[in-house]
Structures are given as structure tokens and as C-alpha cells.
Structure 1
Amino acid sequence: MNMFGAFSAKAPNRMFAALLLGAIAGIAYAGIIPLVLAALADPGAFPGVRDNKAYVLGWEISNFGFAASFLGLCVLILLARTASQVILIRLSLDVSTDMRRRLYERVSSAPIAELEKVGMPRLVAAITSDVPMVVAGARLLPDLFTNMVTLVGMLGYLLYLNAPVFWFVMGCIGFGVVTYQVPALIARRYLVRARNHLDGLHESIRGLVHGAKELKLNDARREDYFRRVLAEAEHRVRDDGKTGQTVMRIAQNYGDLITFFVIGATAFVFVNYHAISRPELVGVIMALLYVTGPIAILLNFIPQIMMARIALRKLNALFARIPEEAVARDVAPRRDWQAMRFEGVGYRYLDDAGEAGFEIGPLDLEIRKGEITFIVGGNGSGKSTLAKLVTMHYQRLDGEVRFDDEVLGPANIAGFRQGVSAIFSDYFLFDRVLGREGAELKDEVDSHLVALGLAGKVEYRDGRFTTLALSDGQKRRLALVAAYLEDAELYLFDEWAADQDPAFKAFFYNAILPGLKERGKAVVVISHDDRYFDVADQLVVMEDGRITDRNLSGATLARARQVASQQHDHGRRVAPGPRPVDATVA
């Protein structure tokens, strides 16, 4: 992907029109000075214009033909340049939307494991910083083209006036441009470093926002985070940005003076070695003065184009980093099944160099509809990885996953995913029920809000929840409402009851889970609430990436309770308390 290509692919006709109009404006610009010089030098040389005067709105106009041509060129410049810019501005908005949409689609279709490696700060920086920068650079194309045509036209006029002068000027400009590149390259190096540091700054800001509660509890911790994390990230971006922008500004100012150096060299040096008439010299000086503007604009565009190219490289690298998942892209209907079986399934985490890290397996496990499976394990035991294999967010690297007798693979995984609903420990709560519409939806949502004790705290109005400003436990209950409405084939809950009070914890284990089981759903629960282990039909104990037990024998229960006791137990062995109002959710 490149800047010009992105615009051309979106609307080639509009892009061509913008560049053509820019070229026309450049030609008109280049024609103004020769026209004025011709009118001032010898109007009589042009038949029909001697003593050609006219009165317009009470004003006497000399050399009316030249004046009319001058006005025509100005109007043409105004219309052509404005049309070119407006076309490209409107096109740039379309392109920026398409680029962001392309990023959205790539993120939504990328493997979860790759997104976890890339990280949220890098994705946010790409969407909020890189895309606008690329579009801003591409938006300069018509003006860039206009000034290039103007410059070429004026240099052509210099060649017409005096060939030796033209070649002398070209040599001076060439020397100036080459020497300009030295500070520009130095500036680019620092600007690239500043952009690379921006990802780290976004990560630091994320820590500030998501870790606000923890930082407020300890002044020393907060000050240390500000000093060694936020401040260092800010300083890296600021210092490299300052250096890069300072050197670039020096280069720009030097570039602005290149034309004046050329004028001085022509007026004070060139005339001593070459014969040139005063009228020719005046024409040359005026042409060079007129060229000052396009050269300055072209040089001033360089930093913006440079930053756009840096941003474009970051975007291209990001697209290469998050490839599309190897699954069928067609919209797949939900697939029905009775049992999900893991046969020697293994998974391992790979770093950027392809080196293997933590791994789990081989795993042999069966999850059946109409049964509740508990997964228990200590920190680092692999239970969260197993959960993502169950929900098909991760695809096994070894063994096979079967739904009944059908092997899970790229051709059918989308269909089986349609029947999964999960609330992970790091879940995201949407402000609406996605995937369902209709008047009857509000009645269903309202009944579930009552059953889960959320009535009066949040309402479902105009297709969305009125607020998400809830406690952690209330947010999990609201996420449960949305998940329940999906009527999935398999439900996975990762420590859902951890933030619930005793009443809702008991309601979850004694009503919600059995209710889903009675409806023929497969239910997988990651939990350390050993008081409720007897709710399970299957108890899976994970240790060091392996399944050590998976039944309800006394020994398995004892081992599971021992593992659970080693974890941070949220409300363990608290009496169930009163049953919440209405158990219709179950």
C-alpha cells in the first residue's frame, strides 16, 4: 500500500481529475510572469494591442488584451486549484474511512493470539495517529503537482530567455537541493524514533487509566509510575521530536533561501562572466522571484510527506503482523452438535522469533451438551489457554478437536464458533445486545434485569443500555444478560462469580448453571468456588499444562479443593443468602 495507490484505487477518475486540475493551475501560474513581462516590455510587438484601452466599471484599463488574459489566468487558477483541492479533500475523507475500516476488518478477522502479541497501544496508535498522517500527506498531492508544474514552467521560461542562465540556475538549485537533503535525512531519523516511541507512550497512558485505582492507593507507587514510566515515555517522544523538528526547520529555512542565493549568484556573479541584457536580467530576476514560492512550498511539504511515509510503513508493518486467520470467510450458519472432544490437543505460545514458550497438552477431554464442566487450576496451570481452545479463539497445534465425528478445521470453524458464548475474566461489556433486534427483545432484557437484580440500576432503552457505570459485579451480571440472550450451544464462564455477593454467587451456581444444563447447553466454568464443585458433572483439574483429573471421585474433589485453596478465593464458604428476585433467567 502506498499513498498514491490508496487514492487511485478508491477513485481513479477523481484522482486523475484532481491531478489534471492541479496541472492546469500550475500551467496558469507559470504563464502569469511571462504575460506580465510581455505586456511591460513591448506591447506593440503584438498586433492589435497598441493603444488598446478599455473602460470597465469606470476604470481605464491599458493593454486590455493582456489585462483580460491576466484576469482569465487568475480565474482559471482559482477555479482549477480550488476544484483540485476540494476533490482531494473529499476523496481523502473517503480514503481515511476506508483505511480505518480495513484496519477494523483485519483486527476482527485476525487470530486472537496475534492480536495479543501486537497489543492494544499499537493498534490505537495506528488508527488514531498513522491513518490521519498518511491521509494528510496524500492530500498534498494536488498542491505538490501544481507547484511542480509551475516550477517546470518557469524553468522552461528561463531556458527561453537565456540558456546559459537556465543551466547556471539549474546547477545552483541542484547544489541547494543536495545540501538540503543532509539535514533532512538527520531529521527523518529522529522523527522515525519519535514515532516508534509513541507506541510505548500509548502503553504508559493505558497503564495510567486502567491502573488508576492501584496508583491512588500508594503515593510512592504513583510517583514512581509518573517518573519512571510516563515521564520517560513522554521525554523520549518529546526529545526525539524536538530534535527532528528543529533540524527539519533549519533545513526548511535553508530551502527557503535557496532561490535567493540563486538570485544573488545570478545578479552579482553570473553577469560578470556572461553577456546578458538588462531586460533579460530583469526577466530572469522576476522569474526567479516567482519560483521562490513553489520551491519553498515543495520543500515545506517534505516533512509532512516524510511523516506520512513513516506512518505508512508502520501501517504496512502492522498489516503484515496481523494476518487474516486461516478460516473460511463466508458467513456460516450455526452448527449443531452433541459432544466436543479433544484428542491429544496441544498448544504452545510462540514469540516474535518463533521460539516456543509455555505450552499445554496433550489434552484428552470431552465436553457434552446437557453437562456442566468445571475447570480448576492454579496460576499458570493452563486453564485460561484451555478455555480459549474450547471457545476456538486459539487453534490447536497438535492433535484433533472433533464435534461429534467431524474434525474441526478452517472450513467449518466459523460455523461452530457461532454457537459459543463466553464471559472471560477480562471481558468487554458492550452497551447493547448485538446480533438481535425486535420489539420482543426489550421485554426479554427487562425480565433478565429483574432476575439479576439490575432493575432500577440500568434500563434497556432505544436499543441500548442506559448506563455502564456499574460495580464490577453488576457489570458481570449485565454481561450475563447479553450472553444469555444469544441462546448459544456452549457457554463458558471464566471466574464469573468472583465479584458477586453471596446471594448472586449462589444464584449463579444453583440456578443459572443448572438452568442452562436443563436447556441442553454445554457449560464450562473456570472456578475456585469449591463449595459448589458438586454442581459439576465433570471436574477438570489442570496442573502444569496437563489435565491431572477429570471426574467427580472423592480423590478428584479433594485435589481440586486443594488447588482452589491455593488461589485467591473470592467469598469462599459464605452462606448462599436469599435467592434473588425471580429465577426466570435460569
Structure 2
Amino acid sequence: MNLIWFLVRASWMTVAIAALTGSVSGVSSALLIASINNAISSNSLSSNQLLWSFIGLAFVTLLTRILSQFLLVSLSQEAVYKLRLRLSGWIVSCPLRHLEELGANRLLATLTDDIQSISRAVFDIPFVCINIALVIACLAYLGWLSWAVFLVTLVFIVVAIGCVQFLLTKTNDLLKLAREEQDRLFKHLRAITDGIKELKLHAHRREAFLTEELQVTAASSRDYRINGLRIGSIAISVGELLFFILLGLLVFGLPKLTTVSTPILSGYVLTLTYLMRPLQSILEILPGLSQASVALQKIDTLGLSLTSRSETISKDKPELPPFFNSLELSQITHTYRRENEQSNFTLGPLDLTFHAGELVFIVGGNGSGKSTLAKLITGLYIPEAGEIRLHGELITEHNREAYRQLFATVFSDFYLFERILGISLNNLDKQAQEYLRQLQLEHKVQVKEGVLSTIDLSQGQRKRLALLTAYLENRPIYLFDEWASDQDPFFREIFYKQLLPELKHRGKTVLVISHDDRYFHLADRMLKLDYGKLV
């Protein structure tokens, strides 16, 4: 039902037209069976009227069936397409801190596994809808043949559906548990790729991780899915068995209880035999629909979590402030609330002011709050208390998106795009190539139509490519988070003694998080943090 509502929300008009054409197709199929039954019962197989009516009904059935499927296939795939975009939009509109709390593994499971389950299911929905229309039309025909026999058949079908639905409910419950395990499994799979060096260098850790973490979670997910799909298979088999039992009762049992004419009985047997294929198709698709319903519920839950914290992001392209003079942070604080721990880490309250053309170093030990401060300064984290003012104007949710456009950054956990996105310059390739020469990467990377020839480089070289993007953005404030930590001594010297002074000379405000104390004397100011406080 969730999937049907999912399609109705996408376009109720298309669903209505598809339902109408599908119903016509189902009625036409039922009339085809009626014409065949009439021809057999009346021994008028050579009647031209029956022949032409049969041909006409076959043509109408084919045409309406194709039209209904075309409409539903287009609608279902369009709905999945919009769901992907909507989910991506929810994520990029959600505050960074909330995304970190949700965890990358949960987001990845939703973007990949859940979307794929729904995509597979909506492909089957058109066929399910056509088959349901066919079943309803055939049941109506059976009622027209004989209400007494129809009531017996209907009672049996209701009991059969109840038995099958009971098994499918069990299937759905087990698939929900399997989906919960899927989140944990994605977390472990990420640990393999992100922690491969640590796993390779410690045999006991690797063995413990594989047997006590990954294997346990993978086995739980496997077992829940196996049990769920097994019960689904039992439901399908029970449905087929009950169908044959119904045929046996009609052919062998009902004539002993009451008088039933041969035309009626043959009509029932012919119709029910014809219904076997669409009913079997529906039963085979139902487990996949159950799995997709679980996935859709997970997406709805995630969507509520994301939209409840959604930031105000204008559809119009935020404009870069015309100039930068001063940035003031007043009494800002941010707290990390740690689960299962009595103490929390709080950064601040801090009072800071930055001016154009300054080179400021932010220093301190690990865990002192340097990266958190960087995220507060750039607007990625929202202060829990205090305020940020740009040229005296308070930064709020209405102008925070425009405020973020002040910053060109390279964080320690940066992401490098293969294409230079969002930068419109007439001579982009030429400028990029010049910066590559300054960064000593021209022999490894080329730029053609804004696309980098490769990003498969060492971490230090990848950071230089990230710096290339920051240069091309040409924004008033630059922030580098431990940028030089992966550079060789030669290029580290170039970074501190050439690149940073050049940015300052161009009037840029440069904020550098660093542990390189031998270069601290180059800064105009130095901010030292110790467990969230300025010292």
C-alpha cells in the first residue's frame, strides 16, 4: 500500500488513467474467456459473430494492457528518479552535525540498498496492477455465471488469502529485521575499506573483526533474509496448492452437493485455470513488494529526520559578498554530546575577530577543538549559543548559505571531485594548468574542459589538487586544516613561505590549522586552543 501511495503522490492523474485502462484490459480478458466458454457450450465454434467479437476483444485487451503498462512504467521510474533527487536534496540541506550523528553507513544503505529495492519493486507494479484488474474482472464474470457457486469460491479465496497474508506478514517482519542489520553491515564494510592498513598490520585484530563483527552482522542479515524469503516461498506454494484444491472442490465436490450445469462448471474451471498465471505472478512479486515497503518506510523515517533539521537554502544561486572587511564571532559555543558518557566536550565560549589580509594560525593539541572551530567559522556547524556577524550583520538561517560562499577550504577529510564544478571562467583550463605548474603537478595531471585527467595520486598530491580548486574559487577567506601534514619537506616549505604569503598579499584572509611550530612565526596572529578554550 505504501508503494501505491508513493506512485499516487507522484501523479494521481496518471495512476487514475492507468487504472482505468488496466480495468478495461481486465474486463476485456474476462469477456474473452466468456466468449470462449459460450462458443464451447453452444457448439457454435464456426460463428462469425463470435469470431469477430473475439478478435475485437483481443485487440482491445492488448491495446489497453500496453497503454496501462506504458503509463505505469514511466510513472514508476519517474517517481524513483524524483525520490533519488529528493533524498539527495534532503541530505545536502541537512546540517552537517546532524548528518554526522546519523552516520554515513545509514545514509549509504538508504541511497543504495533501499533505492535499489524500490526501483526493482516499482518495475513490477505495472504488471501487478494489470493482473489485479484481470483477477477482479474474472471474479465478476464468475459471479455473473452463478452467484451460489461464486459465494463458495469467494469464501474459499478469502480464507486462502488470509493464510497467504499471514505468511507474508511474517516475511515482512523478518525483512525489516534484515534491513536493520543492513545498516550495521554497511558500517563494517566501510571499516574494511577505511581501516584496511590497520587490519593488514594486525592479524589478531583482523581475525577478531572478521569473525566477531563482520561475520556476525552478515550472518544475521543473511539468516533474516533467508527465513523471510523461505516463508515467502511457502506462501507462494500454499497459494498454488489452495488454488488446485479449489478446482478439485468445484469439479469433484460441488456436483455431489448440488446440481451445477456443465456450462457453468466449465466456465469456472476455464476462468480459474486462466487466473492461475496472474495469481502466481502476483504471489511471486509480493515478497519483493514487502521488501520495497520496508525500504520506503526507512526512507520516510530518514526523510522526517532530515527535513526536521533542514536548513533554509535558496533556489537562487547565493551571491558572493561584494567585499570582505571583518568577521566577528561573539560568545559562540558548540557541544559534542557523547552517548554512554557522563561528560561532554564543549568548545567555547569564544570571542574572535578576523580581518581582511590576515594570516592566522589555529594551533593546539589533538582534540582541542580546532576542526570544530573551523566548521563553526565556515558556517558548517551552527553555534548553540553566541552569534556570528559579518560587517556587523548577524548571520542567521536566512543568510547563512550566502555567508558560506566567503570560504574556500581544504579540510583534513576533504573530498576531491574529478571535475571542477561550479566555477565559470572563460579560460578555466588555462588558469588551472598554470596553478598545476605552481603546485608541481603539471607532469601528472592535465585539465581539459574542466575535467581532471586523474585523481589517483598520493594523499599529498591530492591535497594539492584540492588547493587548485580553492585557488580557482578565488574567495575572500581561505581555510586549511592540516594541509601540510601530508606534504614532503620541500613542498611544505613552499606552502608556508610562498603560497600563504601570496594569498595574504592578494588581500585574502588565511586561516591555517597547523602543528608545524617551526612556521608559527610567519603568522600575524596565533590562536591556541586547549580542550575547547582559548589560552
CA distance 1:144–1:462, shift in 2 (3 Å): same
Indicate whether 1:386 and 2:370 are aligned.
no
1:133 — aligned with what?
Answer: 117
1:325 — aligned with what?
Answer: 310
Paired with 2:145 and 2:80, the residues of 1 have a C-alpha distance of: 45
Indicate whether 1:451 and 2:413 are aligned.
no
Pairs aligned (count): 532
Indicate whether 1:20 and 2:20 are aligned.
yes
Deviation at 1:328, TM superposition (A): 4.7
2:56 — aligned with what?
Answer: 72
Q: Please list the CA deviations of residues 243-281 of structure 1 after superposition, one character each: whole Å capped at 9, or x if unmatched.
A: 100011001110122222212223333333222233332
1:575 — aligned with what?
Answer: none
> Where does structure 2 lack aligned partners over 5 or more consecutive residues?
none
Q: Please list the CA deviations of residues 110-165 of structure 1 after superposition, one character each: whole Å capped at 9, or x if unmatched.
A: 11111112222222222222223224333434333322222222222222222221
Aligned alpha-carbon RMSD (Å): 2.3
**477-486 or 220-229, which deviates more:** 220-229
CA distance 1:351–1:28, shift in 2 (3 Å): farther
Deviation at 1:194, TM superposition (A): 1.1
Paired with 2:485 and 2:83, the residues of 1 have a C-alpha distance of: 40
CA distance 1:178–1:3, shift in 2 (3 Å): closer
1:498 — aligned with what?
Answer: 485
**Matched position secondary structure for 1:140:** helix
Indicate whether 1:537 and 2:524 are aligned.
yes
CA distance 1:67–1:308, shift in 2 (3 Å): same
Indicate whether 1:288 and 2:272 are aligned.
yes
Q: What are the equivalent positions in structure 2 for 1:419-438 lying under 5 Å apart?
A: 419-438=406-425
Q: Please list the CA deviations of residues 181-202 of structure 1 after superposition, one character each: whole Å capped at 9, or x if unmatched.
A: 2221111111111112112222
Q: What are the equivalent positions in structure 2 for 1:246-261 lying under 5 Å apart?
A: 246-261=230-245
Contact 1:370 1:521 survives alignment (8 Å):
yes
Deviation at 1:403, TM superposition (A): 1.5
Q: Which has the higher contact order (CA 8 A, sep 6+)?
A: 2
Q: Please list the CA deviations of residues 297-346 of structure 1 after superposition, one character each: whole Å capped at 9, or x if unmatched.
A: 33333212211211110110111121253335243211233121121111
Q: What are the equivalent positions in structure 2 for 1:505-516 lying under 5 Å apart?
A: 505-516=492-503
1:407 to 389, 394, 397: 394
TM-score, normalized by length of structure 2? 0.94
1:172 to 156, 159, 164: 156
Paired with 1:154 and 1:25, the residues of 2 have a C-alpha distance of: 11
CA distance 1:356–1:422, shift in 2 (3 Å): farther
1:113 to 97, 116, 125: 97
Runs of 4 or more off by more than 6 Å in structure 1? none
Structure 2 counterpart of 1:424, one-letter code:
F
Paired with 1:389 and 1:111, the residues of 2 have a C-alpha distance of: 12
Paired with 1:434 and 1:152, the residues of 2 have a C-alpha distance of: 53
Deviation at 1:515, TM superposition (A): 1.3
**364-373 or 494-503, which deviates more:** 364-373
1:463 — aligned with what?
Answer: 450
Paired with 2:245 and 2:408, the residues of 1 have a C-alpha distance of: 71
Paired with 1:300 and 1:227, the residues of 2 have a C-alpha distance of: 35
Indicate whether 1:156 and 2:143 are aligned.
no
Q: What are the equivalent positions in structure 2 for 1:497-576 lying under 5 Å apart?
A: 497-548=484-535
CA distance 1:516–1:381, shift in 2 (3 Å): same
Structure 2 counterpart of 1:378, one-letter code:
G
**Matched position secondary structure for 2:423:** coil
Paired with 2:190 and 2:478, the residues of 1 have a C-alpha distance of: 30
1:278 — aligned with what?
Answer: 262
2:168 to 170, 175, 184: 184
- Give the number of the structure whose alpha-carbon radius of gyration is greater: 1
1:56 — aligned with what?
Answer: none
Name whichever structure is richer in helix by fraction: 2
Q: Please list the CA deviations of residues 368-426 of structure 1 after superposition, one character each: whole Å capped at 9, or x if unmatched.
A: 22111111122221111111001110011101111121111112212211111111110
Paired with 2:481 and 2:211, the residues of 1 have a C-alpha distance of: 36
Contact 1:118 1:321 survives alignment (8 Å):
no
